[in-house]
Every structure is written in structure tokens, then in C-alpha cells.
Structure 1
Amino acid sequence: MAVTTPIRTWCDLGLVLDVPELVAAGDWLLRWSIASTSELERAADRRADRRGVPVVREALQLLDRRSESPKESELRAIVRLGGLPVPDVNVDVFDPRGRFIARVDLLFAEYREVLEYQGDHHRTDRAQWRRDRTRESELESLGYHVTEVTDGDLADPNALVARLARLFRRAGWTGSPRALDGIRRRPHG
């Protein structure tokens, strides 16, 4: 039975996945040390069939081994593609006495903004929901604004980026977001 390597498969996925999805797959390869960024770059360079390579090249610029979930990776890719500030990934936040408060998905320290991807279990698991509310209150008591993002938000990247841009502007950001028309290849939800 013929099979491809994970690296080759990742490049092949450039034909069927959009950039945020390909970033999620690439982050997973990096996180679990299945591939390095340089190995993925070399595989893209060697690709005889150039179809899908533009998506692969764009995704390569956004990979981050610190990502801990596919949806978090997609969110980070949308933020970056949308021209918003660059976040720190999976950051531990402590109170002034050094007590651990939370590990946050995406932190924009300069703007005191935290983005948290919330899967459905954050809504359906009562104990998780309660922990999330306390955690959010703790973060906000330290001066952070917490924005929760769901899969529905990822399905409409332009609306998400516009909303996040308003939050960053409120905190002093002077940049301009980019339109993400056509970023999603197929309907999500």
C-alpha cells in the first residue's frame, strides 16, 4: 500500500484546505515534532505540481508550534491575515502576587486584550462554564478585556476581524484591518 509522509500530505492539503485550516494542520505537525518549519518549506520548494503551493506558502508564514488546538490556530491565522496586531500564543497570566490566573490562547499585551477560542464544551459542560466565568472575571480584574470566539465567528472572518479591530482601536491601535474575502473555501458551521 502506497502512503505519503505527513509532510507531503500537508503540502497536498494545500489543494483542499483554506489557509487557516492548513495552519491548524501545520501547527499540529510542529507541536508534536512530526515536522519542522524548514522541512515543510523544503517540501513546498520541491513540489513538482505547483497547484496548492500559494496556499502552502501563505500558511508557512503563520505557523506556530505553541498552538494547542486546531481552532486556536485558525483564529490566530485569521487575526494575522486580517492585519491585526500579532498575538503571543498560550501565555500564562499571573496576578501581582505571582498567583497563576490562567493560560490564555492569544494575548495582545500592549492592548490588554485576550482572545479565547471556546468550543461547544465550554457551553454544555456546566462546571467548565463556571470555571470560564471565574477565569474571565479574574483576568478582567487584572485589566484585561476577554473576547470569546466560537466556530460561528471563524465562519465569518470579515465580521470577526472588524469586531476585533474596533476593540483594538478602543485600546489605542491605529492600524487598518485587511479584508478577508474568499479566505474560506467552503461553508463552515
Structure 2
Amino acid sequence: MISHQSALILHGLEISDLDLRRVHLTNLRGPGRSGRHVCQHVAEPAIGAVTVIGEVQVTPAPRAVVESILSTSYPVAVSVVDAALRARLATTDELLELVRRFGRRHGVRAALRAVAFGDGRAESVGESRMRVLLAVLGLPAPIPQAVITDRSGEFVARVDFLLAEWDVVVEFDGTGKYADRDALVAEKLREDRIRDLGYQVVRATWSDLSTPAAFAARLHRAVNRAGPARHRS
């Protein structure tokens, strides 16, 4: 049986930060042998059927998701769940039911939290990790992929996150987001239009995820500047 991490890749999921130093496998014929580089799991609960991609037998997508999130950190687990929901490889109910079938195995409680928190509207690993950070900061759940319109109802932008209580927009800038100068200029003009409507815009990068204190301070300053959200008609 192929590793759970490799199965996710073959199923087309974007994954990041999974610990690949030790390969996790499900053995259909017993516990197998585990060592420094390989960890073989008994197929409990039983796997009803395998999936074949090309000529390779892989763990079915929902099972691969659950097996992977059982052995990783909560933020990474959320990014895997988000990607699975976005790709429609599984539903939240399917993942919850499958996690519960693992009983008291280590990681089940965190996996249940990650699945319950999952949201397929997150369009990248960075956005998934940002959702986790915003929750850790104690903020109300943001609206992912929120549509901003002007006062006449004309479309202005679709933003990564909207903190609707304060008219604060959070944009996550991953690497390579702006391929050329024209794209960068267009993004600056787009952001100007958003600010002209009264929104505060806070940009975040990967470094903010690993050192969140400065980001949290910038975000709270934006919230204070924005004040309570205004009704927009």
C-alpha cells in the first residue's frame, strides 16, 4: 500500500508542512514492520476498497486525509482538510465519521477539531493557516473569499478574508502571487479601490504565521481604525 502522504499527492491535493521524514503506510496483511524511516499501520478500521490511479494502488482519498491528519499538527491538519473539501474528495460528514471509526487512536481528538474547522473556501495552504491564526487570536470567524462591491453594487474585488464586524480585509500573499509588474500594479489599484470604500486592508505573509505577534498588532490597529462595520446599501 502506498504511503498516505503520497496518496494525497496522487489524488491531486496541495499539501505543505507534512512531516515526510517517516513514511506512513497501511498494511492490508497485518501490522508489518516499522522502523526509523517507515511506520506501518494495521488496516483498522478495515479498508473496504482501494483506489487505483494509473497502475498504483492508493488509499482512498478520505482515508488518506484522515490517516495523514491523525499524525500531524492541528494547523497542518486544517490545511489538508481544507484542500480535500475544496477538491470535493470528501465531505465534512464523511471525514468526521471516518475519524470516529479510529476510536481512541492517538490524534483522534485533534483530527475531529480540524475536520470540524475545515472550510473548502480556503484556496491555499497559506489561507488555511491564516484561518487558524485568526481563530487563535480570538477573532470572530472571517468570511473567506468575500465579495466587495461599491455603493452601486458593482463588483470591486474578491478578498481572501473579511472581518465583517469591522470592515477589515486580510489578504494572504503567498510566494509568486504577482508574476509581473503589470499584475503588481493592478493589485495596488484594486487595493486602492477597496480602501476608498472605507475598508482597512492588512496584508500577511508566511513569516507572519511563524511570528504572529507583529501581525496581531497590525491587525488590531486596523480594527481600531475601522471601528464597527457600517451598513452598506
Q: Tell me the equivalent position of 1:47.
A: 102
How many residue pairs are counted as aligned between the two chains?
173
Query: Cα 1:92–1:112, aligned 2, differ >3 Å: closer, same or farther?
Result: same
The RMSD of aligned alpha carbons is 2.1
Q: Which amino acid aligns with 1:9?
A: A
Take 1:42 and 1:113, find their aligned partners in 2: how far apart are those partners? 36
Q: Tell me the equivalent position of 1:102.
A: 157
Matched, 1:67 2:128: no
**Contact residue 89 and residue 106 of structure 1 kept, 8 A:** yes
Q: TM-score, normalised by structure 1?
A: 0.81
Q: Which has the higher contact order (CA 8 A, sep 6+)?
A: 1
Take 1:11 and 1:134, find their aligned partners in 2: how far apart are those partners? 42
1:89 to 127, 133, 144: 144
Q: Tell me the equivalent position of 1:180.
A: none
Take 1:162 and 1:45, find their aligned partners in 2: how far apart are those partners? 38
**Contact residue 6 and residue 34 of structure 1 kept, 8 A:** yes
Q: Tell me the equivalent position of 2:64.
A: 9
Query: Cα 1:86–1:10, aligned 2, differ >3 Å: closer, same or farther?
Result: same
Q: Aligned runs of 1:95-174 on 2, under 5 Å?
A: 95-122=150-177, 125-172=180-227
Contiguous gaps of at least 5 residues in structure 2: 2-56, 229-233
1:77 to 132, 141, 157: 132
Take 1:19 and 1:125, find their aligned partners in 2: how far apart are those partners? 35
Q: Specify the SS of the correspondent of 2:157.
A: strand
**Contact residue 112 and residue 145 of structure 1 kept, 8 A:** yes
Matched, 1:35 2:93: no
- 1 or 2, which has the higher strand percentage? 2
- More displaced stretch, 106-115 vs 60-69: 60-69
Q: Which amino acid aligns with 1:126?
A: R
Take 1:78 and 1:31, find their aligned partners in 2: how far apart are those partners? 20
- 1 or 2, which has the higher helix percentage? 1
Take 2:174 and 2:122, find their aligned partners in 1: how far apart are those partners? 15
Contiguous gaps of at least 5 residues in structure 1: 174-189
What percent identity do the matched residue pairs reach? 36
